[in-house]
Amino acid sequence: MTAQIFLIAPADADLATFAPILEGALASVPVSALFLPRGSRGENAYKDFVKVMAPIAQAEGCAVLIEGEPGWVRTLGVDGLHVLGSGKALPTAKAAVSALKPQLIVGAGPAASRHDAMTLGELDIDYVFFGPLEGDLPAEARDMATWWSETMEVPAVLSDPQADGETADPSGCEFLAVGESVWKAPQGAAIALSQIAQRLESF
């Protein structure tokens, strides 16, 4: 089965200029989920950002995930919460599952170890996230994601922010998270994302 695209927005994207870029990218290929990192924004600025970006994604059938408090998910009308972190994030992930499941999505990571991944996976979350939100994907994170997807039922999101149309490789995972290479691509985000989607069809 072809891996689905999990798109990571830039952490500190400008609200006004990023909206049309996002709209074009999401219109180019099917994207299963969009994660909107908070970056350095204060609470109000982050919520304003989400309020603009979420409808753009949802209009294309893309689930929108945010970080922050579980209560923000319903307030902002998004589809779920991504709990950042691993072992130390366990209490937050438990609270999110209790508050949001089963109606809404809860995912967590990046998992720092196999033990942390298994602990998170036991919480009835929708996916475990492996790899960084930005930068290069370490080989050990890829290996851990492959192991997870081969042995566990909870879906794996493998994050390779630098992946492009020539290098994208889901390594057997249900989702491939991409971001940096898409937004920085000289050919534009829409074409870059289309190239990644085309490559994923070859696996």
Give the pLDDT of the chain (203 residues) as one tens digit per residue. Answer: 799 999 999 999 999 999 999 999 999 999 999 999 999 999 999 999 999 999 999 999 999 999 999 999 999 999 999 999 988 889 999 999 999 999 999 999 999 999 999 999 999 999 999 999 999 999 999 999 999 999 999 999 999 999 999 999 999 999 999 999 999 999 999 999 999 999 999 99
Domain with 116 in it: 4-200
pLDDT score recorded for residue 1: 75
User: Which residues in the chain belong to E strands, given as ranges?
Assistant: 4-8, 33-36, 63-66, 80-84, 105-109, 127-130, 156-159, 175-178
Q: Torsion angle of alpha carbons 16, 11, 149, 1, nearest 10°?
A: 20
pLDDT score recorded for residue 86: 85
Q: What DSSP state is assigned to residue 79?
A: S
pLDDT score recorded for residue 128: 98
* Terminal Cα distance for the chain, rounded: 8
From the number of C-beta atoms within 10 Å of its C-beta (0-12, 13-18, 19+), residue 140 rates as exposed
pLDDT score recorded for residue 109: 97
On whether the CB atoms of residues 72 and 94 are closer than 8 A, the answer is no
- The number of distinct structural domains making up the chain is 1
CA atoms within 13 A on the CB side of 101: 14
On whether the CB atoms of residues 64 and 36 are closer than 8 A, the answer is yes
pLDDT score recorded for residue 77: 99
CATH number at residue 127: 3.20.20.70
